[in-house]
Amino acid sequence: MDLESRGIPGGYILTEEFREADLAQARALGFSANKVFVEHPIQDRTDAEMALIAERAFAEVVAMIVTPE
Amino acid sequence: MTEQHDSYLVFLKRDCPTCVLVEPALRELESAGKILQVWSQDDPEFPGSLTAVGDDRELEQSYHWQVETVPTVIRLRGDKEVERTEGWDRAAWLNLFGTQQLAEDLPGFRPGCGSLSVQPGVAEELALRYGTSSLQARRIEIAELEDPLEACYARGWSDGLPVVPPTELRVIRMLAGTHREPAEIVGLIPPDLQPCSIEKIAINAVMAGCKPEYLPVVIAAVEAALIDEFCMHGLLATTWFSSPMIIVNGPITKAIGMNSGGNALGQGNRANATIGRALQLVIRNVGGGKPGGVDRATLGNPGKYTFCFAEDESEQRWQSVAQQRGFESQQSTVTLFAADGVQGIADQKSREPESLCRSLAASLLGVGHRKFAMLSDAFIVLCPEHLRVFTNAGWSKQQVLDRLFELTTRSGAELINGVDGIAEGMPEFVKDMQLAKFKPNGLNIVCAGGTAGLFSAIVPGWLASGDMGSSPVTKEIV
């Protein structure tokens, strides 16, 4: 919200497990930010597996920050 | 100056010996033509020898005229008070009634008794009945057949245990515990960032089961939770176990009967139990922080119901938590720590500080994960018998902390991923470093517990400590 108010496109990346948390937070703040969901889990993934997840999400992440509202 | 057309209000109760004593004086004044309106708080037949005795058993007049003592005599001009006197003081009565002589048989002075209108609990009830309520919270009507406890559950106001229904009277009584204005906003409560007034805190303190005298502690705890360094929003949202632990220091702990002794971390003390719970209910009911919503804890911990205790400050040679954090012993404070549950440490053999430090350090290494370093902070809750080992040897708290810091510093090579056949651990790049288990000032000691048992406790903290997460915060209770 802060970044966007300064004209910097923003968003966040979270795993599927946090869909409900994202909804709850958006409801709480009255604001739904741009976001991209990736598969869960990530904490115990190897670097190679993380790179693969990032690769799969890359296009969507780029679109999130370059697509005008 | 008394004038002929002045009239007088007299407040009495039969149960007051001084009120009984002054009956002859009032009779004498009435006979002399003084215009008296007597209000009796407990018996409209008393005093039987006077003509104008009103029934004030409902205490409406006493409340309206703010009577604190009986007898009280108020001189009126028209319907405005000019002056008043309390108790029996012949000189004051002579002056008030503008007379030269009065009840010469009576002693010169007798103090009065407390007015029924200011008895504990009554004043707030009268304020609700006859005053103008300043409470801003919306009133919720429930059906006559609805159980108030169940109504609170149904509306999602409970942490799982029954809450005390926050009636207007209970909230007004609770607010009597603070001098702060009910409408004062203390901050925005996460996660919904809702403005939280003193009144809202009082409502949740009622629901938690607090007594009014606990309210200043609850307010300070809420204010502390809102200090940026504590990171309450993140703490609520984390998948980790932690939630606020409240340590209370200073004279207020004894004044409100908090427990710092046996079972200090357990059940059974109303102040300990309800102050911690009140903070949790504020987060839930004002901030909207609930499990399954923004609260994403994988397991949580029982301290998320309540986790609050007083420090045992009886050992003068050791600084309390509050003193370490820059406060004087006469100041009352709350210190909040993002805490997990309690991990016990038994050491029934160490009689020397070095041995006990090694023993404590061995257990401290397990905080978070034995192969983690510089992540979680921790508190040791040091029991009196372990404290004695240090104080008998002349060790200060800082000496103990410094030694524990040394003893929990390890080679990075022992901690990296894969070592000991455990995938978890620190990243490869630390392998040539010496790594402290805790950040500087990340380890703290608080004294509490019963006098028998060489059992202390570790209270580990959130994995996200310091600038990346939460740091302990202290707030003075005012």
* C-alpha atoms less than 13 angstroms from C-alpha of B266 in its C-beta half-sphere: 7
CB A21 to CB B192 under 8 A?
Answer: no
* Residue B306, pLDDT above cutoff 90: yes
**Chain B interface includes A24 (CB < 8 A):** yes
Q: How many domains does chain A have?
A: 1
Q: Encode B7-29: b = buried (16+ Cβ within 10 Å), e = exposed.
A: ebbbbbbbebebbebbbebbbbb
- Residue A34 domain-assigned (yes or no): yes
CB B293 to CB A18 under 8 A?
Answer: no
- Residues in chain B with CB shorter than 8 Å from the CB of A18 are 296
- Residues in chain A with CB shorter than 8 Å from the CB of B193 are 28-29
- Residue A55 domain-assigned (yes or no): yes
**Residue-averaged pLDDT of chain B:** 96
* Length of chain B measured in residues: 478
* Residue B134, pLDDT above cutoff 70: yes
- pLDDT-based confidence at residue B15 (cuts at 50, 70, 90): very high
The answer to whether residues B11 and B61 touch, using CB atoms and an 8 Å cutoff, is yes
- Residue A69 domain-assigned (yes or no): no
Global confidence as pTM: 0.86
Residue type, B422: I
Least confident of A3-12, A14-23, B321-330, B423-432: A3-12
Q: Which of B192, B288, B294 sits opposite A21 (nearest CB)?
A: B294
Determine the distance in angstroms separating the CA of A7 from the nearest CA of chain B, rounded to an integer.
24
Q: What is the pLDDT of residue A68?
A: 67
**Chain B interface includes A8 (CB < 8 A):** no
Q: Which of B192, B237, B288 sits opposite A21 (nearest CB)?
A: B237
* Length of chain A measured in residues: 69
pLDDT tens digits for B81-98? 999 999 999 999 999 999
Q: Which domain holds residue A20?
A: 4-64
CB B294 to CB A29 under 8 A?
Answer: no
Residue type, B323: Q
- Residue A17 domain-assigned (yes or no): yes
| Class in CATH terms, B6-129 | alpha beta
Share of chain B above pLDDT 70, in %: 99
* Residue B171, pLDDT above cutoff 80: yes
Is beta strand B194-197 parallel, antiparallel or unpaired with respect to B69-70? Answer: unpaired
pLDDT tens digits for B353-393? 999 999 999 999 999 999 999 999 999 999 999 999 999 99
Is beta strand B455-460 parallel, antiparallel or unpaired with respect to B378-382? Answer: antiparallel
Least confident of A29-43, B272-286, B357-371: A29-43
* Residue B444 dihedral angles phi and psi, to the nearest 5°: -135, 160
Determine the distance in angstroms separating the CA of A41 from the nearest CA of chain B, rounded to an integer.
13
Q: What is the pLDDT of residue B27?
A: 96
